[in-house]
Amino acid sequence: MITAIGFDADDTLWHNETIFEEYHGRFQALLARYHDPKTVERALYATEMRNLDLFGYGVKSFALSSIETAIELTGGAIPSDELRALVQMAKDMLAHPVELLDGATETVAALAADYRLIVITKGDLRHQERKFQRSGLALLVPHCDVVSEKDDATYARVLRRHGIAPEEFLMVGNSMRSDILPVLALGGHAAHIPYPLIWAHEECSAPSDCPRFHTLANLRELPVLLARHRQPGC
């Protein structure tokens, strides 16, 4: 019996990777005089992975890694004036309006009466909290837990704190690695809703055979899945 639902936020409730992709494009354009886009992209990703443990996720980490990459890829030749654009880029990303995915508000509103709802998101603390407030979903979802990593230990801690048993919990998200696999590992349920774009770091294959794993085309299919789950014998 599912009584509580966790929602990932970026690319599950609101658009995120589309914004990052736009800024990746701007970063490639900034370095176009020095290197082709593929080289720039590969170097940036390598820097991000090298810095991930220390920096964590989010826009400020991305900005610092992009500055480091720009200096590195140009052997220090890029004028510092051009690096100013990268700081501005971080500000623009942090101030970017929240654009909800189709059906997000309706789906959350439809489930709010019957389930305990939590947003569980990783990234920059203040940025995620601000997006949650601006999304309007804070009126429907009582908790937004911003975590620094989405692994088994984190989900176990979040569920313990809310007094939710894993077997009564369903996590909804676009990342197999961060939203699905750790929750299944704990004995919980998970609904994967792929987003058209995914950051290479989050790429991961689906679990092979697990009755607690579901794939949905979009958020609007979630109430149907849950209604089916409430039927006797399911």
**Binding site residues, its own copies, CB under 8 A:** 51, 54-56, 60-61, 63-64, 67-68, 70-72, 74, 76-84, 87, 90-91, 94-95, 124-127, 129, 146-149, 161
Counting beta carbons within 10 angstroms of the beta carbon of residue 38, is it exposed (0 to 12), middle (13 to 18) or buried (19 or more)? exposed
Give min distance, CB of 59 to its own copies, in A: 9
Structure tokens belonging to residue 86? 């990268």
Give min distance, CB of 194 to its own copies, in A: 27
Q: Toward its own copies, which CB reaches closer, 201 or 220?
A: 201
CA atoms within 13 A on the CB side of 95: 6
Q: Please, are residues 144 and 21 in contact by the beta-carbon 8 Å criterion?
A: no
Q: How far apart are alpha carbons 7 and 48 in whole angstroms?
A: 25
Give min distance, CB of 7 to its own copies, in A: 19
Give min distance, CB of 174 to its own copies, in A: 21
Q: Please, are residues 173 and 8 in contact by the beta-carbon 8 Å criterion?
A: yes
Q: Toward its own copies, which CB reaches closer, 16 or 61?
A: 61
Name the nearest CA neighbour of 62 among 72, 73, 51, 53.
51
Q: Toward its own copies, which CB reaches closer, 127 or 192?
A: 127
Structure tokens belonging to residue 140? 């429907």
Q: Toward its own copies, which CB reaches closer, 77 or 227?
A: 77
Q: Toward its own copies, which CB reaches closer, 59 or 219?
A: 59
Give min distance, CB of 193 to its own copies, in A: 25
Q: How far apart are alpha carbons 24 and 38 in whole angstroms?
A: 11
